[in-house]
């Protein structure tokens, strides 16, 4: 027999309730970023707009079918987030990806992934794991040559784990970091052996999640992120991106 601090117990119960009920929430991302901002970042992450390339306001306005005012607003935001440099004489230039930035982003993601996976393994309902499986089925149909589609689906796979988490600030941080990694690492490819490993690791993760095996799920996601970082490090050396 032992006494329980009722205030602390209420707090813990509330947190557990939030953890479970977050799966039934709408899951809105709360992000008011304009579609133009997303379109420009997407074109950088797919390589349609390359690091070092000048971004002229009038050309971007024509490209995306908008006026120049939202283009300037987007460029200022991208400057603040480290995606472009703006100088008085040259205007905006896409910042080239560098090894330090990519490494820093990846190290933070390595810390966040197990945090989300451990919670997901404990509380995720079968329908969300089925959602992951559906995305995985699509991933396995995409050839490695279609890197843009592969990265998009891979992001959706991992976002399924994060998007209903009770800590939406952490989830939003993950999403922004993942997007930044795609933008700064746009020219880094995925080689066939790593492509096969990603698919195998996704399968192992789904199986562990279905069993609600927290320990195995965390082990797999750590293996997954470490393998991806090794691949990225190799690609950075190939492209001469030194710390």
The DSSP bridge partners found for residue 54 are 93
| Sign of the alpha-carbon torsion through 59, 62, 64, 66 | positive
Co-location of 213 and 136 in the same domain: yes
- CA separation for the pair 155, 135 (Å, rounded): 10
Co-location of 104 and 191 in the same domain: yes
What pLDDT score was predicted for residue 46? 85
Q: Would strands 84-87 and 91-94 be described as parallel, antiparallel, or unpaired?
A: antiparallel
Co-location of 122 and 45 in the same domain: no
**Tens of pLDDT, residues 110-131:** 999 999 999 999 999 999 999 9
**Tens of pLDDT, residues 210-232:** 999 999 999 999 999 999 988 88
Co-location of 135 and 205 in the same domain: yes
- CA separation for the pair 84, 92 (Å, rounded): 6
pTM for the model stands at 0.80
- CA separation for the pair 13, 91 (Å, rounded): 54
Co-location of 59 and 117 in the same domain: no
Co-location of 89 and 104 in the same domain: no
What pLDDT score was predicted for residue 202? 98
Number of separate domains in the chain: 2
- CA separation for the pair 86, 116 (Å, rounded): 36
pLDDT for residue 23 is more than 90: no
Co-location of 68 and 110 in the same domain: no
Co-location of 115 and 173 in the same domain: yes
Minimum mean pLDDT range among 9-13, 59-63, 94-98, 145-149: 9-13
Closest by Cα among 184, 175, 179, 199 to 235: 184
| Residue 203 within a domain | yes
Beta strands in the chain, from DSSP E residues, in sequence order: 54-55, 84-87, 91-94
Classify each residue of 128-164 as buried b or exposed e, where b means 16 or more C-beta atoms within 10 Å of its C-beta: bbeebbebbeebeebeeeebeebbbbbbbbbbbbbbb
- CA separation for the pair 128, 105 (Å, rounded): 27
Co-location of 44 and 160 in the same domain: no
Residue 39's domain comprises 35-94
pLDDT for residue 136 is more than 80: yes
- CA separation for the pair 161, 118 (Å, rounded): 10
What pLDDT score was predicted for residue 24? 44
Report the chain's mean pLDDT, rounded to a whole number: 85
| Residue 138 within a domain | yes
pLDDT for residue 13 is more than 80: no
């Amino acid at each position: 027999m032992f006494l329980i601090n009722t205030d602390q117990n209420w707090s813990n119960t509330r947190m557990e309730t939030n953890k479970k009920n977050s799966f039934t929430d709408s899951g809105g991302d709360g992000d008011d970023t304009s579609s133009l901002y997303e379109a420009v970042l997407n074109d950088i992450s797919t390589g349609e707009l390359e690091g070092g390339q000048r971004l002229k306001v009038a050309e971007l306005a024509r490209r995306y079918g908008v006026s120049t005012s939202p283009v300037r607003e987007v460029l200022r935001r991208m400057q603040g987030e480290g995606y472009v440099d703006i100088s008085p004489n040259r205007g905006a230039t896409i910042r080239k990806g560098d090894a330090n930035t990519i490494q820093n982003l990846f190290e933070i993601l390595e810390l966040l992934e197990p945090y989300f996976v451990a919670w997901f393994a404990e509380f995720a309902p079968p329908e969300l794991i089925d959602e992951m499986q559906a995305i995985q089925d699509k991933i396995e149909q995409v050839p490695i040559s279609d890197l843009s589609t592969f990265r998009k689906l891979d992001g959706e796979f991992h976002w399924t784990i994060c998007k209903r988490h009770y800590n939406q600030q952490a989830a939003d941080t993950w999403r922004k970091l993942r997007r930044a990694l795609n933008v700064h690492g746009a020219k880094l490819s995925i080689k066939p052996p790593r492509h096969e490993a990603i698919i195998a690791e996704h399968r192992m993760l789904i199986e562990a999640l279905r069993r609600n095996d927290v320990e195995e799920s965390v082990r797999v996601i750590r293996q997954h992120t470490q393998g991806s970082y090794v691949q990225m490090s190799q690609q950075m050396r190939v492209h001469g991106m030194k710390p």
